[in-house]
């Protein structure tokens, strides 16, 4: 399969959509064989009325990680709100390993403050006590920060519950299609519309500070690259060259975009300095070079090329423009997404004529196929490197799915109705 054909297939896939809104829902399909048992005692709200259930949100976050088993409230023998109220024996009887207790109060400036504690039942110790604050309109942010703190304390890995997802959805009405660039919380909630167009939208990519998105839009009649501020919705067209303008990828310092242009005849990699507008050609080869992805060091760029006969992933050293082939297993490897540590690379991998998502350890060269579905595409690694999001098919619908890098945890984020594609996981936002 040539890369040109790959582009065509991607565009066709975007047209396969149902006539409906694409709000995401969570379906955990596979979790850890020995999950950590944790209980969330209902927080003491001290008579305050809030528009979100904090405990429900935290439980949903932890359950979605696949690493935790939550004790149902109906099985609890008591509902303590502070460590002093906890009888450890009661919780050991339920097989609980950790317990979360907390209480909510209102500050003089009108903000809410939640003081919560994580207790280790086996050691009968307080693992931590922490305070988080938020306005009344950002209770979900407060809840996600609670989840992040608990997750990191138990696993040693920073949580990503406070991050966001960008993706493309398509709505069909007869023969008409509406394309939407949307952003939502990592759990699919609080979906917001960034751009709506009758022409395709592709390849969203987050700036390192999480404040902007770069993407490809066909609204001008041909592919052009835009960047858009999420807070103000202001947008700027960056390219509109003849031919292909595609696959924008933000450098780690946020100053440069790597992109693909065919303005000189063949699809090649270029860099665009955002402040000066300086455009630099990075590759010169008769093959198709596409899908750039920056390495965390900012000195190398991964990309897809068929210069070896089949699509494979290569690494470009910016200092001297030397190119090194990275993938050798399988007859198709494309769409690289690199973990923050620079060691694990997710990609679309084909073996036995089936497209899966795979992870390659760049140090040991060990390759793991992470998915068992077909037509999997567009992997995007979470900022903690523990999970990745990708697009796939489920019952003839385009959905988003997530899998851990060890393939032990899986969950789906299908839209209630319609198709979703092109996921991009945000960086840490605070």
Q: Which of 401, 395, 391 is nearest to 10 (CA)?
A: 391
Contact 173, 198 (CB under 8 A): no
Q: Which of 203, 206, 252, 238 is nearest to 391 (CA)?
A: 203
User: What confidence score (pLDDT) does residue 20 get?
Assistant: 37
User: What confidence score (pLDDT) does residue 276 get?
Assistant: 96
Contact 331, 356 (CB under 8 A): no
Tokens of 384: 């903690």
Per-residue pLDDT of the chain (430 residues; tens, 9 = 90+): 344 344 333 333 333 333 334 466 656 666 667 899 999 999 999 999 999 999 999 999 999 999 999 999 999 999 999 999 999 999 999 999 999 999 999 999 999 999 999 999 999 999 999 999 999 999 999 999 999 999 999 999 999 999 999 999 988 777 888 999 999 999 999 999 999 999 999 999 999 999 999 999 999 999 999 999 999 999 999 999 999 999 999 999 999 999 999 999 899 999 999 999 999 999 999 999 999 999 999 999 999 999 999 999 999 999 999 999 999 999 999 999 999 999 999 999 998 788 999 999 999 999 999 998 888 999 999 999 999 999 998 888 889 999 999 888 898 887 665 689 999 999 999 7
Cα–Cα distance between 362 and 336 in angstroms, integer?
Answer: 12
User: What confidence score (pLDDT) does residue 394 get?
Assistant: 84
The full set of domain ranges for the chain reads: 3-29+163-425, 34-155
Distances (CA, A) of 411 to 67, 108, 348: 12, 41, 18
The domain 3-29+163-425: what is its CATH number? 2.120.10.30
Q: What is the pLDDT of residues 135-188, one digit of tens each?
A: 999 999 999 999 999 999 999 999 999 999 999 998 877 788 899 999 999 999
User: What confidence score (pLDDT) does residue 32 get?
Assistant: 63
User: What confidence score (pLDDT) does residue 406 get?
Assistant: 86
User: What confidence score (pLDDT) does residue 204 get?
Assistant: 98
3-state secondary structure the chain: CCHHHHHHHHHHHHHCCCCCCCCECCEEEECCCCCEEEEECCCECCCCCCCCCHHHHHHHHHHHCCCEEECCHHHCCCCCCCHHHCCHHHHHHCCCCEEEEEEEEECCCCCEEEEEEEEECCCCEEEEEEEEEECHHHHHHHHHHHHHHHHHHHHCCCCCCCCEEEEEEEEEECCEEEEEEEEEECCCCCCEEEEEECCCEEEEEECCCCCEEEEEECCCCCCEEEEEECCCCCEEECCCCCCCEEEEEECCCCCEEEEEECCCCCCEEEEEECCCCCEEECCCCCCCEEEEEECCCCCEEEEEECCCCCCEEEEEECCCCEEEECCCCCCEEEEEEECCCCCEEEEEEEECCEEEEEEEECCCCCEEECCCCCCCEEEEECCCCCEEEEEEEECCEEEEEEEECCCCCEEEECECCCEEEEEEECCCCC
Cα–Cα distance between 219 and 237 in angstroms, integer?
Answer: 11
User: What confidence score (pLDDT) does residue 175 get?
Assistant: 82
Q: For the whole model, what pTM was predicted?
A: 0.90
Tokens of 130: 């922490």
Cα–chain-centroid distance for residue 237?
25
Cα–Cα distance between 345 and 359 in angstroms, integer?
Answer: 5
Cα–Cα distance between 205 and 269 in angstroms, integer?
Answer: 16
Q: Which CATH number fits domain 34-155: 3.40.47.10, 3.40.50.1980, 3.40.50.10070, 3.40.30.10?
A: 3.40.50.10070
Cα–Cα distance between 31 and 43 in angstroms, integer?
Answer: 26
């Amino acid at each position: 399969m040539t890369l040109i054909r790959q582009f065509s297939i991607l565009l066709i896939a975007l047209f396969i959509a149902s006539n409906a809104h694409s709000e995401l829902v969570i379906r955990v399909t596979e979790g850890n064989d020995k999950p950590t048992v944790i209980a969330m005692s209902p927080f003491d709200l001290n008579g305050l009325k809030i528009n979100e259930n904090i405990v429900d949100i935290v439980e949903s976050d932890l359950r979605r990680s696949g690493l935790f088993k939550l004790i149902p409230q109906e099985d609890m023998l008591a509902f303590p709100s502070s460590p002093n109220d906890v009888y450890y024996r009661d919780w050991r009887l339920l097989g609980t390993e950790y317990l979360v207790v907390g209480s909510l109060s209102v500050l003089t400036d009108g903000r809410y403050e939640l003081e919560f504690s994580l207790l280790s039942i086996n050691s009968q110790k307080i693992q931590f006590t922490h305070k988080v604050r938020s306005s009344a309109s950002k209770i979900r942010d407060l809840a996600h920060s609670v989840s992040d703190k608990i997750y990191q304390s138990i696993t040693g890995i920073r949580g990503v519950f406070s991050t966001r997802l960008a993706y493309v959805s398509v709505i069909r009405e007869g023969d008409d299609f509406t394309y939407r660039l949307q952003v939502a919380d990592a759990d699919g909630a609080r979906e917001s519309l960034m751009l709506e167009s009758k022409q395709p939208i592709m390849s969203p990519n987050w700036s390192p500070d999480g404040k902007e998105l770069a993407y490809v839009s066909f609204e001008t009649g041909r592919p052009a690259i835009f960047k858009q501020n999420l807070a103000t919705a202001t947008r700027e067209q960056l390219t509109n060259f003849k031919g292909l303008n595609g696959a924008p990828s933000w450098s780690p310092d946020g100053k440069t975009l790597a992109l693909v242009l065919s303005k000189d005849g063949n699809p090649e990699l270029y860099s665009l300095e955002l402040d000066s507008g300086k455009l630099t050609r990075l590759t010169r080869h008769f093959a198709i070079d596409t899908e750039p992805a920056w390495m965390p060091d900012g000195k190398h760029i991964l990309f897809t090329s068929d210069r070896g006969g089949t699509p494979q992933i290569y690494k470009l050293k910016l200092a001297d423009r030397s190119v090194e082939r990275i993938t050798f297993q399988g007859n198709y490897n494309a769409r690289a997404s690199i973990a923050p540590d620079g060691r694990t690379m997710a990609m679309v991998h084909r073996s036995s004529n089936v497209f899966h998502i795979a992870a390659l350890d760049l140090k040991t060269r060990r390759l793991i196929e992470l998915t068992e579905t077909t037509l999997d595409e567009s992997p995007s690694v979470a900022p903690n490197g523990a999970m990745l999001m990708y697009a796939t098919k489920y019952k003839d619908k385009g959905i988003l799915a997530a899998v851990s890098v060890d393939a032990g945890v899986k969950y789906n984020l299908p839209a209630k109705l319609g198709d979703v594609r092109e996921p991009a996981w945000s960086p840490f936002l605070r």
